[in-house]
Amino acid sequence: MIGIGTKTGKKSTIARYPFLLEAFEMIKDESMEEILYSEAFRGSRALAVARVQSALKNDEKQIFIDERNCFEAVLSFYLAKAIVTHIKDNFLLKRHSIFEAKNAYYYLEKESEEVVDQVAKSLGIEREGDKIRFVTFLKYAPNSYGSWKLVNTRLSGGMVEIDRHIFLRIMQEAMRERIERIRFSVSDIDKAIDLSSIYAELSSRKIAQRKEYRIEFDSFPPCMKNIIAQIENNINVSHLGRFSLVAFLNGIGMKEEEIMKILMPTPDFDDRVARYQVEHITGKEYSAPSCDSMRTYSLCFEPDNLCAKIKHPMQYYEYKINHKDHGRVPSKEV
Amino acid sequence: MEEFLQKKFKEYYSNADLAMPRRFTRREYGFMFFGKSTMMRHMSFSSSQKIKAFLADKAPAHVFYSSAYYTKPYETDMKDKGWLGADLIFDLDADHLSLPENCTYEKMLSIVKRETKKLVEDFLIRDFGFRDLELVFSGSRGYHIHVYDKEALDLGSRERREIIDYITGNGISLDLILGKENYAIPSEKESGWYGKIGRAVNEYADKILSMENGVEELKKIKGIGDVKAERIYEGLKKLKKNPKVVNALPKEFIEYLKEKLAIESSKGEADEPVTSDIHRLIRFPTSLHGKTGFIVKSLSFEDFDDFDPLQDAIAFGDELLQMRVLKPFSIEIKDFHANVKEGIIEMPEYAAVFACARGLCTPA
């Protein structure tokens, strides 16, 4: 067992590295029922969602951890891990482990050498003075160019000379691997925690990642198609309907100007007000409501077979455009 | 001819003291037979008796086993085999070395030997710190090195490629090692390529300075005339005291240093695909090489210097055999040295097997 807690006596140090066994010890005896539903853990649950959101947005803001909130911090890490495990998306899994590993890396930068070595040891990495085994270096080097290429290192007797920066970077990679490997399942987590904003963000990121980017109206979910049709037919659309559409269009990467063009035909179209609304929604990065919420707002319209498989309108679009690519039959050369 | 070889190989395998590879039941085996060009693969054996019996019965021309260990070595699909790790293998073969023109067999063997020593001593032991190595004569024109160190066994293909790149100097950044604009020759004592380059440049300086006509030697470098050669000569004198003196030397010399001197003289040799392949089949030590009849022989480091395959890897006896020569050839194996012309000739069994395996003669 690692000795961070016992040696420094600080739980806040452990909480910065929640993936370590010691950190898990802090929360393992809590009741899952309480964690998921009790008011006392509302903060942890919110922080868990924020952690996953930050991971998706590549948002490197750090959680401030002190003696008072270290329990909440560790718990939120495991709840976030449970969310990621529940969603079962490889892109999310990778993003999340990169994000958490980077987070830990920033903390490590400020730690004493003693703490650095203890965290390293618990990851299975030993540093001997300013050297590590070359196999460790090869395993965790983030790339193989320049100073990360073995041929450009100082190698002797199987040991590679490293400075602090390189060592921490090696550790970041080891932490990423450790975090990715953790599987933490909590049943009914989707009922206890609203995951719709995560689904929306995830789809949005995956759509934006596509090499060939264009908006494909054919691939919109029936609910969004219906709102657009209403606008085109000069039927008044509720504020919630417009909000959902704008958030959806923003989510799939449409520019403000283009969104404005779609809203134009509404009878009560006021360029100034509409622009304000659009900018407000896009600027704040609101996400479109989940399918559950769309049903509650009576915005769900003629759900099809695909609708039965998804939880968020964004997922519908993402699935459709990806499916289109894969389903295309390559032309045969004769 | 093939029947003759197979008969002789059978005799060998019936009496041979075969050295079983480590964890031999976890390995895949592959065989090639006389007169056939395909390989029989994905074989596995549960006991050493079974391997011996198989070899004595079938007498294959070539015998291989996998560098990898598998849970199910007999599966035909790689993904079903259950990879558990693999020995780290280096293959040094004359075919992959740049040899001088009209290189004799002896010269070739000594070059391969020199390169093998360099690979083992300078790279595998000094730099990588490997301790559990086996050196094997390939049975033909080179050597194989098997590394069994525990930490090497888990390495993936990418990591193994990094090792081979380290050895061959591939991807080296002289900007990092020598400096980008402000050059400095690294100290000889530094680790890795830093020290190698430091030693190579200092050795070069010593060589030039010890020559009677060192300046003339320098003039052989492209773009170096009388004046520049003098300047370089004076610079090399100061090099050990001041590693930054290179900055004051003509840029043609710095180019020469980077292109020729730094890497060429220190790099090691080994065939890249062999090392990076984690499913490689490699020759079974103590088996015979079907194209020479020589023993694929494991060697101790003490014996390596004196090892002469033409004396020490011979599997067959001295009994004289009548052979029909198919095309004239010259041969120097063990005690049999001859320029052989077409016709019927008597030669010792070991030479007859070699010449047959080369397709030069057939039993009369």
Q: Is residue A242 within 8 Å of A288, Cβ to Cβ?
A: no
Contacts with A142 from chain B: Cβ below 8 Å:
none
Q: Is residue B33 within 8 Å of B288, Cβ to Cβ?
A: no
> In this predicted structure, what is the pLDDT of residue A65?
78
Read off the tokens for B351. 């030479």
Range of the domain at A56: 4-189
- Looking at the fold, whether A182 and A41 belong to one and the same domain comes out as yes
Specify if A332 maps to a domain: no
Q: Is residue A111 within 8 Å of A120, Cβ to Cβ?
A: no
What's the rounded Cα separation, in Å, for the pair B341 and B363?
15
Contact B172 A151 (CB under 8 A): yes
Q: How far is CA B295 from CA A37, B53, B288, in A?
A: 74, 18, 5
| Three-state SS at A128 | strand
Q: How far is CA A192 from CA A29, A256, A290, in A?
A: 19, 34, 15
| Beta-strand relationship, B329-333 and B336-340 | antiparallel
What's the rounded Cα separation, in Å, for the pair A316 and A49?
22
Q: Which residue has the tokens 């900018």?
A: A279
Q: Is residue A162 within 8 Å of A168, Cβ to Cβ?
A: no
The pLDDT-based confidence of A329 (bands split at 50, 70, 90) is very low
- Looking at the fold, whether A107 and A121 belong to one and the same domain comes out as yes
Alpha-carbon distance A171 to nearest alpha carbon in chain B (angstroms) = 18
Q: Which residue has the tokens 């050669």?
A: B229
Rounded to the nearest 5 percent, the helix, strand and coil shares of chain A are: 65, 5, 35
Contact A158 B129 (CB under 8 A): yes
Q: Is residue A85 within 8 Å of A180, Cβ to Cβ?
A: no
Structural domain tally of chain A?
2
> In this predicted structure, what is the pLDDT of residue B216?
92
Among A191-195, B25-29, B324-328, the range of highest mean pLDDT: B25-29
pLDDT tens, position by position, B317-335: 999 999 999 989 999 999 9
In the residue annotation, B91 being an active-site residue is answered as yes
- Looking at the fold, whether A181 and A46 belong to one and the same domain comes out as yes
Q: Mean pLDDT of all residues in chain B? A: 93
Please say which residue of A189, A214, A231 terminates a domain.
Answer: A189
| Three-state SS at A330 | coil
Specify if A331 maps to a domain: no
What's the rounded Cα separation, in Å, for the pair A234 and A257?
20
pLDDT tens, position by position, A244-259: 999 898 888 888 888 8
What's the rounded Cα separation, in Å, for the pair B177 and B155?
27
Task: Check residue B192 and give left, alpha or beta (phi > 0: left; psi -120 to 50: alpha).
Answer: left
Read off the tokens for B212. 């009677």
- Looking at the fold, whether A42 and A61 belong to one and the same domain comes out as yes
Average pLDDT for residues B3-9, to the nearest whole number?
A: 95
Average pLDDT for residues B245-258, to the nearest whole number?
A: 88
Looking at A163-167, A243-247, B104-108, which range is the least confident one?
B104-108
With a CB cutoff of 8 Å and minimum separation 6, the contacts of A296 are none
> In this predicted structure, what is the pLDDT of residue B326?
92
Sheet holding B343-348, edge to edge: B343-348, B320-325, B361-363
> In this predicted structure, what is the pLDDT of residue A97?
95
Q: How far is CA B25 from CA A169, A316, B49, B71, B83, in A?
A: 40, 52, 12, 9, 13
**Which H helix or E strand runs over A132?**
strand A131-133
- Looking at the fold, whether A178 and A148 belong to one and the same domain comes out as yes
> In this predicted structure, what is the pLDDT of residue A59?
79
Read off the tokens for B139. 């049975």
In the residue annotation, B149 being an active-site residue is answered as no
Preferred mutation among B133, B161, B162 to probe A, highest tally of A CBs within 10 A: B162
> In this predicted structure, what is the pLDDT of residue A141?
93
Q: Is residue B147 within 8 Å of B126, Cβ to Cβ?
A: no
Catalytic residue among B93, B122, B149, B165: B93
φ, ψ at B332 (rounded to 5°): -140, 90
Alpha-carbon distance B177 to nearest alpha carbon in chain A (angstroms) = 7
- Looking at the fold, whether A144 and A216 belong to one and the same domain comes out as no
Q: CATH homologous superfamily for B2-168+270-312?
A: DNA primase, PRIM domain (3.90.920.10)
Q: How far is CA B252 from CA A132, A258, B172, B174, B181, in A?
A: 38, 60, 20, 16, 15
φ, ψ at B267 (rounded to 5°): -70, 150
> In this predicted structure, what is the pLDDT of residue A136?
96
The rounded radius of gyration (Å) of the Cα atoms in chain B is 25
Report chain B residues touching chain A, CB-CB < 8 A.
Answer: 126-130, 151-152, 154-155, 158-159, 162-163, 165-166, 169-173, 176-177, 190-194
Looking at A27-31, B103-107, B247-251, B255-259, which range is the least confident one?
B103-107
Read off the tokens for B55. 């070899």
> In this predicted structure, what is the pLDDT of residue A232?
83
Preferred mutation among A152, A153, A177 to probe B, highest tally of B CBs within 10 A: A152
Boundaries of every domain in chain B: 2-168+270-312, 174-264, 320-363
Please say which residue of A162, A189, A216 terminates a domain.
Answer: A189
Please say which residue of A157, A189, A221 terminates a domain.
Answer: A189
Of A133, A145, A155, the CB nearest to B127: A155
Residue type at B284 in one-letter notation = F
**Residue B190 burial (C-beta neighbours within 10 Å; 0-12, 13-18, 19+):** middle
- Looking at the fold, whether A146 and A48 belong to one and the same domain comes out as yes
Catalytic residue among B87, B127, B271, B277: B271
Q: Which residue has the tokens 């134009």?
A: A264
Residue B343, beta-bridge partner list: B325
What's the rounded Cα separation, in Å, for the pair B108 and B93?
10
pLDDT for residue A176 is more than 90: yes
Of B127, B130, B159, the CB nearest to A139: B159
Read off the tokens for A283. 């600027």
Closest-CA residue of chain B to A159: B128
Q: How far is CA A52 from CA A107, B115, B320, in A?
A: 19, 54, 82
pLDDT for residue A327 is more than 50: no
**Residue A108 burial (C-beta neighbours within 10 Å; 0-12, 13-18, 19+):** buried
**Which H helix or E strand runs over A72?**
helix A70-87
Q: How far is CA B30 from CA B12, B65, B139, B180, B345, in A?
A: 19, 6, 17, 50, 36
- Looking at the fold, whether A229 and A297 belong to one and the same domain comes out as yes
Average pLDDT for residues B344-359, to the nearest whole number?
A: 94
Torsion angle of the four alpha carbons B157, B29, B90, B333, in this order, in degrees rounded to the nearest 10: -160
**Which H helix or E strand runs over A258?**
helix A256-263
Among A3-12, A203-212, B247-256, B353-362, the range of highest mean pLDDT: B353-362
Specify if A170 maps to a domain: yes
Residue type at B22 in one-letter notation = R
pLDDT for residue A331 is more than 70: no
Task: Please list, residue by residue across B92-127, b when 16 or more beta carbons sit within 10 angstroms of its beta carbon and e when fewer do.
Answer: bbbebbeeeeeeeeeebbebbbebbebbbeebbbbb
> In this predicted structure, what is the pLDDT of residue A326?
52
The pLDDT-based confidence of A211 (bands split at 50, 70, 90) is low
Average pLDDT for residues B150-170, to the nearest whole number?
A: 95
With a CB cutoff of 8 Å and minimum separation 6, the contacts of B174 are B258, B262
Maximum distance among all alpha carbons in chain B? 74
> In this predicted structure, what is the pLDDT of residue A266?
62
Contacts with A155 from chain B: Cβ below 8 Å:
127-128, 166, 191-192
> In this predicted structure, what is the pLDDT of residue B191?
95
Least Cα distance to B95 among B125, B122, B67, B115 occurs for B115
pLDDT tens, position by position, B188-241: 999 999 999 999 999 999 999 999 899 999 999 988 999 999 999 999 999 888
Contacts with B158 from chain A: Cβ below 8 Å:
138, 144
The rounded radius of gyration (Å) of the Cα atoms in chain A is 24
Alpha-carbon distance B179 to nearest alpha carbon in chain A (angstroms) = 12
Closest-CA residue of chain B to A152: B172
What's the rounded Cα separation, in Å, for the pair A260 and A4?
55
Residue type at B118 in one-letter notation = K
| Three-class HEC string of chain B | CHHHHHHHHHHHHHHCCCCCCCCHHHCCEEEECCCCCCEEEEECCCCHHHHHHHHHHHCCCEEEEECEEECCCCCCCHHHHCEEEECEEEEEEHHHCCCCCCCCHHHHHHHHHHHHHHHHHHHHHHHCCCCCEEEEECCCCEEEEEECCHHHHCCCHHHHHHHHHHHHCCCCCHHHHHCCCCCCCCCCCCCHHHHHHHHHHHHHHHHHHHCCCHHHHHCCCCCCCHHHHHHHHHHHHHCCCCHHHHHHCCHHHHHHHHHHHHHHCCCCCCCHHHHHCCCCEEECCCCECCCCCCECEEECHHHHCCCCHHHHCCCCCCCEEEEEECCCEEEEECCEEEEECCEEEEEEHHHHHHHHHCCCEEEC
**Residue B329 burial (C-beta neighbours within 10 Å; 0-12, 13-18, 19+):** middle
Contact A151 B165 (CB under 8 A): yes
Of A150, A154, A158, the CB nearest to B162: A150
Catalytic residue among B17, B57, B87, B91: B91
pLDDT tens, position by position, B42-100: 999 999 999 999 999 999 999 999 999 999 999 999 999 999 999 999 999 988 888 88
Helical axes A90-109 vs A70-87, angle rounded to 10° = 160
pLDDT tens, position by position, A256-297: 888 888 887 665 666 777 777 788 777 776 788 888 888 888
